C-alpha cells in the first residue's frame, strides 16, 4: 500500500530542498542529516520524512507513473467549471468568476455566498471551489490516520460525549505499548506517513509521558506526528516539538468569545488561541477550525471562523457539524467551499468524520466542493467505539483495510491521488 510517491531531491538550500515528482517541483523542509542531491525521499506535510533506496523508488515510480497521469486527467475533467450556468444570477456569477480568477473576495461577497439557497447557485459555488483546488493544488489528497488513545477528559465541553460529567461513558486509556503497536500497524503494515495522536485532556498523559512516547515513535518509524491532546501551553508544545511532533490539531471550536465561554464552562477562547499562535511560532503545522451549527451561532460568526482559521496560518482546515443535531449537509459544504475561496492556494481542507456521520455522501461531496484531505481511523477497533464524542460516529466498526479500500476506490473514481506532495 502506497500513500506517498517518492520524489527526487534536485536542489538543497539549507533546510529547504526541492523535490521532483514526474517533472513537477515541490519544496520541503529537510531534517535528515546527510541528505544528498539525487536521493529519493518521501515527503509529507512539507517535511522530508524518509529516504527511499533508489531501486525501490524507481520501481514504485514505475507503478505510479501511468496511474498518476491517468488520475490527473480524470481530475482535470471533473473539476472544469462551466462559465455560464442557467439559474445562476448575474451577481453571483460575477462573484464566483472573480473567485475563479484567484481574486480576493470582499466580506460582503463572502457573506452573500453563505446566504445562497438556490441549487444551481450552490452547485456553481462548489464547482468554483473544486476548480480552485485543482488549479492550485492539483489532485493530491492527504490521507492521514488518527489514533484516539484515551477518552478520559478533565474538561466539560457541553456538546462533547467524552466530557467529564458524562458518567455513563465507559472510559479507556491505551497503554504505551498498545499505542506503539497501533502506530506500528498503521505505518509499517498500512503505509501511513502521517498520524494524529488524539485524546481527551487526560492528566495521566502528562507532557513528559507524551514526550517519551513521541521520541519512541520517531525512533522506530518514519512518520509525521500531529498531536491533538487539548491545551498544553507553550512549554508543553515546545517539549513535544523537540520530541519530534510537527503538527498540532486543535480546533478553536468557535471564534465567538461569548459562545466559546458558554460552551466551555467559562474557559477563555484566548487561551486556546494562544496555544495555536505559540504552536505556529514554534514551527508546528497548524490544523484547526471549528464546529458548524452551534446553538446561537450566526452565519456571520461562521464566516469569522473561516477568516480566523486563515489568520492562524492554518495548514489544514478542520470544520465539522455539531452532532447529533447538526446543520444540513449544505451548510457544511458551504463552509468547505468558502474556505477554499478564502485560502485557494495553500489550504488543505479535510472532510471530517463528523461530516461523514452527518451524510454518508460527505466525502464525495466535500472533495468536489474544495476539500482535499481525509482522515482514516486507525484506533484499535475495541477502543474505537468508546471515543464517543458524538453518537453513531462513522467508521467505528470498519477495519483499517476496509477503510483504505473504500477510500482508494472513491479517490481513484474522482481522479485523486492519495498523496501529500505539498506545495
Ligand atoms: N482534547 C482534544 C480533542 C477533543 S475531541 C482537544 O481539546 O482538541 C476532538 C474534536 O471533537 C473537538 O475538537 C470537537 O470539535 C469535536 N467534537 C466534540 N463533540 C462533538 C460533537 N458533539 N459533535 C461534533 N464534533 C464534536
Task: Give the number of other Cβ atoms within 10 Å of residue 99's Cβ.
Answer: 25
- Pairwise CA distance, residues 105 & 340, whole Å: 12
262: left (phi over 0), alpha (psi -120 to 50) or beta: alpha
Pick the CATH number of 136-414 from 3.20.20.70, 3.40.1180.10, 3.40.367.20, 3.40.80.10: 3.20.20.70
> pLDDT (tens digit, 9 = 90+) per residue, 138-189?
999 999 999 999 999 999 999 999 999 999 999 999 999 999 999 999 999 9
> What's the pLDDT score for residue 406?
96
Task: Using the predicted structure, report yes or no on whether residue 323 has a pLDDT greater than 90.
Answer: yes
Ligand 1 center from residue 413 Cα (angstroms) = 31
The ligand 1 atom at the shortest distance from the C-alpha of residue 160 is 19
Task: Give the residue, out of 146, 253, 291, with the most ligand 1 atoms within 8 A of its beta carbon, to mutate for a pocket test.
Answer: 291
- For 275, the 3-state DSSP assignment is helix
Rg, Å, the chain Cα set: 21
Task: Using the predicted structure, report yes or no on whether residue 422 has a pLDDT greater than 80.
Answer: no
Q: What mean pLDDT do residues 400-407 have? A: 96
Ligand 1 center from residue 66 Cα (angstroms) = 40
- Pairwise CA distance, residues 196 & 218, whole Å: 13
Ligand 1 center from residue 307 Cα (angstroms) = 20
Ligand 1 center from residue 386 Cα (angstroms) = 14
Share of the chain above pLDDT 90, in %: 93
Ligand 1 center from residue 160 Cα (angstroms) = 6
The ligand 1 atom at the shortest distance from the C-alpha of residue 323 is 23
- Pairwise CA distance, residues 412 & 70, whole Å: 9
| 274 band by pLDDT with thresholds 50, 70 and 90 | very high
**5 phi, psi to nearest 5 deg:** -100, 130
Residue 352 and residue 319 in contact, taking contact as beta carbons nearer than 8 Å: yes
Ligand 1 center from residue 422 Cα (angstroms) = 27
Smallest CA separation from ligand 1 atom 11, residue:
389
- Pairwise CA distance, residues 198 & 216, whole Å: 17
> What's the pLDDT score for residue 419?
85
- For 170, the 3-state DSSP assignment is coil
Ligand 1 center from residue 120 Cα (angstroms) = 33
Q: What mean pLDDT do residues 238-259 have? A: 98
Residues of the chain with CATH 3.20.20.70: 136-414
Q: What mean pLDDT do residues 350-363 have? A: 98
Ligand 1 center from residue 357 Cα (angstroms) = 14
> What's the pLDDT score for residue 389?
97
Ligand 1 center from residue 389 Cα (angstroms) = 6
> pLDDT (tens digit, 9 = 90+) per residue, 380-394?
999 999 999 999 999
> What's the pLDDT score for residue 2?
47
Q: What mean pLDDT do residues 222-240 have? A: 98
Q: What mean pLDDT do residues 244-261 have? A: 98
Q: What mean pLDDT do residues 346-369 have? A: 98
Dihedral Cα 50, 56, 59, 63, nearest 10 deg:
-40
Smallest CA separation from ligand 1 atom 13, residue:
251
Q: Report the pocket of ligand 1 as residue ranges, CB < 6 Å.
A: 159-160, 198, 200-201, 228-230, 250-251, 253, 291, 320, 322-323, 354, 389-390
Considering the domain 7-66 in this protein, what is its CATH number? Answer: 2.30.30.140
> pLDDT (tens digit, 9 = 90+) per residue, 122-134?
999 999 999 999 9
Residues of the chain with CATH 2.30.30.140: 7-66
Residue 125 and residue 113 in contact, taking contact as beta carbons nearer than 8 Å: yes
The ligand 1 atom at the shortest distance from the C-alpha of residue 253 is 15
> What's the pLDDT score for residue 423?
63
Smallest CA separation from ligand 1 atom 12, residue:
251
> pLDDT (tens digit, 9 = 90+) per residue, 67-85?
999 999 999 999 999 877 8
Ligand 1 center from residue 320 Cα (angstroms) = 9
Q: Which of 372, 296, 360, 335 is nearest to 143 (CA)?
A: 372
Ligand 1 center from residue 152 Cα (angstroms) = 13
Smallest CA separation from ligand 1 atom 6, residue:
230
Task: Using the predicted structure, report yes or no on whether residue 396 has a pLDDT greater than 60.
Answer: yes
The ligand 1 atom at the shortest distance from the C-alpha of residue 198 is 3
> What's the pLDDT score for residue 19?
94
Q: What mean pLDDT do residues 318-323 have? A: 98
> What's the pLDDT score for residue 84?
76
Task: Using the predicted structure, report yes or no on whether residue 370 has a pLDDT greater than 90.
Answer: yes
> pLDDT (tens digit, 9 = 90+) per residue, 277-320?
999 999 999 999 999 999 999 999 999 999 999 999 999 999 99
Reported pTM: 0.96
> pLDDT (tens digit, 9 = 90+) per residue, 330-353?
999 999 999 999 999 999 999 999
Task: Using the predicted structure, report yes or no on whether residue 1 has a pLDDT greater than 80.
Answer: no
Smallest CA separation from ligand 1 atom 20, residue:
160
- Pairwise CA distance, residues 298 & 147, whole Å: 33
Task: Give the residue, out of 203, 251, 275, 309, with the most ligand 1 atoms within 8 A of its beta carbon, to mutate for a pocket test.
Answer: 251
Q: What mean pLDDT do residues 250-273 have? A: 97
Amino acid at each position: 500500500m502506497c500513500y506517498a510517491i517518492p520524489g527526487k531531491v534536485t536542489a538543497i538550500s539549507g533546510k529547504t530542498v526541492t523535490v521532483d515528482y514526474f517533472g513537477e517541483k515541490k519544496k520541503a523542509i529537510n531534517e535528515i542529516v546527510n541528505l544528498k542531491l539525487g536521493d529519493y525521499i518521501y515527503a509529507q506535510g512539507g517535511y522530508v520524512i524518509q529516504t527511499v533506496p533508489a531501486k525501490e523508488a524507481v520501481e514504485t515510480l514505475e507503478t505510479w507513473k501511468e496511474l498518476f497521469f491517468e488520475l490527473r486527467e480524470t481530475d482535470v475533467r471533473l473539476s472544469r467549471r462551466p462559465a455560464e450556468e442557467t439559474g445562476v444570477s448575474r451577481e453571483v456569477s460575477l462573484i464566483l468568476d472573480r473567485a475563479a480568477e484567484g481574486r480576493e473576495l470582499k466580506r460582503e461577497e463572502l457573506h452573500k455566498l453563505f446566504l445562497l439557497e438556490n441549487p444551481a447557485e450552490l452547485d456553481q459555488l462548489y464547482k468554483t471551489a473544486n476548480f480552485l483546488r485543482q488549479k492550485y493544488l492539483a489532485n493530491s489528497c492527504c490521507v492521514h490516520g488518527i489514533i484516539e488513545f484515551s477518552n478520559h477528559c478533565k474538561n466539560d465541553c457541553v456538546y462533547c460525549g467524552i466530557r467529564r460529567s458524562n458518567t455513563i461513558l465507559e472510559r479507556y486509556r491505551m497503554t504505551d505499548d498498545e499505542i506503539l503497536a497501533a502506530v506500528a500497524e498503521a505505518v509499517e503494515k498500512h503505509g501511513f506517513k502521517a498520524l494524529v495522536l488524539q485524546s481527551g485532556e487526560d492528566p495521566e498523559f502528562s507532557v513528559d509521558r507524551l514526550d517519551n512516547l513521541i521520541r519512541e515513535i520517531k525512533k522506530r518509524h518514519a512518520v509525521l506526528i500531529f498531536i491533538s491532546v487539548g491545551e498544553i501551553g507553550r512549554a508543553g508544545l515546545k517539549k513535544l516539538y523537540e520530541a519530534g511532533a510537527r503538527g498540532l490539531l486543535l480546533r478553536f471550536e468557535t471564534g465567538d468569545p461569548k459562545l466559546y465561554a458558554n460552551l466551555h464552562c467559562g474557559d477563555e477562547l484566548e487561551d486556546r488561541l494562544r496555544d495555536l499562535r505559540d504552536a505556529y511560532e514554534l514551527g508546528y503545522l497548524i490544523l484547526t477550525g471549528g464546529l458548524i451549527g452551534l446553538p446561537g451561532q450566526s452565519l456571520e460568526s461562521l464566516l469569522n471562523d473561516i477568516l480566523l482559521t486563515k489568520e492562524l496560518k492554518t495548514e489544514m482546515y478542520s470544520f465539522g457539524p455539531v452532532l447529533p443535531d447538526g446543520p444540513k449537509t449544505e451548510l457544511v459544504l458551504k463552509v468547505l467551499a468558502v474556505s477554499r475561496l478564502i485560502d485557494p492556494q495553500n489550504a488543505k481542507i479535510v472532510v471530517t468524520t463528523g461530516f461523514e456521520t452527518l451524510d454518508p455522501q460527505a466525502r464525495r461531496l466535500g472533495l468536489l466542493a474544495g476539500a482535499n484531505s481525509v482522515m482514516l481511523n486507525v484506533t484499535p477497533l475495541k477502543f474505537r467505539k468508546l471515543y464517543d464524542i458524538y453518537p453513531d460516529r462513522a467508521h467505528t466498526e470498519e477495519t483499517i483495510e476496509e477503510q483504505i479500500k473504500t477510500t482508494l476506490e472513491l479517490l481513484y473514481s474522482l481522479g485523486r491521488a492519495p498523496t501529500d506532495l505539498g506545495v
